[in-house]
Structure 1
Amino acid sequence: MTRPLVLALISMILVAPVFAQDSDGHNHGPVEDVPAAADPATEATARALEGRIKSPCCWNQTLDIHGSPVAQELKAEIRTRLVAGETAREIEDSIVARYGERVLAVPPDSPLGTFALLSLLAAFLAGGGIFLLGLKWRGKGEGDAGDGPGARGKAARKRGDGGDDDDAEYDARLDAETRVVLSVIIVTAVSAFSR
């Protein structure tokens, strides 16, 4: 009794991929890809545009990863129109006029882009703060001289041979490098936010 059930279960598992289509009847797996444009700049523009537009057959995936015939037709149309001289903006506006703003992966009035940039800025600032706290806590540690970067100054203080000057020089250099790193992080975040 158990053996037939196990065999039936195994056969169902082996046959299941044959019926692996979404409930909407579209095959979302990769199909033959649209031939690439001859010009690399045109191909890059086409791929960027495909990443911003959702497939209008099911609205679940962008054109660059969707494999339905409708998606393939839109990919071919995008490349044809780019080669004909239309701009990416004109093509995108035309597709939006045809299918509505729902076709855009991230609508222009969506706060999602701003949220992503603010999250990136917050992550950079939090990382910089954690880095600075780690430096501060590391400097407060009292223990053996050890082999760490501050070991030379700690050992010199114990001997009394002018280790404070070495520590001051090391601290000044570390502060300058930290300011440079933080300024690069801030400039990167501001430039990303200003786009």
Structure 2
Amino acid sequence: MRAALSRIVMIFVGCVLLASGAAQAVTPQEILPDKALEARARDISAGLRCLVCQNQSIDDSDAPLAHDLRVLVRERLTAGDSDTQVREFVVARYGDFVLLKPPFSAATLLLWLMPLLALAGAALILWNSFGQPTRTSSAAPSSGSLSADEQAALDALLRKDEPGKS
């Protein structure tokens, strides 16, 4: 009985430790008392990029700028802005780069096409390196490219090197 209880406690502690690794950077002071507004704030901030970390959302980042953006999002929601108005406000301040999923537009066209261009470039390099047969300089020239004197000298050398002939 004691061993089973010990295992249950260890499993519980392990689960708590695993869950704490995925904890977000939102501090208790930032959390809104209204659960609906807090859920909206989390949804918005999960789609905003930390401008310091760049590969994390502001919800996951401990950077001071991410903290300021989280507070800004919550202030705008508390003031009565819709989710779209909050996103537009942040984008107006920081540009499309602040969005983790920027919109497809003329300004972001290169950003969206860069992976395809890189893949096409890599395929072209590989094709040029391995796809086409290369000419080697060790190949014997055709007999049509030699003059009559050169052909005669070559034939004499070949007869000289044949086994059994001297």
| TM-score (norm. length: structure 1) | 0.39
| Larger relative helix fraction | 1
TM-score computed with the length of structure 2 as normaliser:
0.45
Structure ID, larger Rg: 2
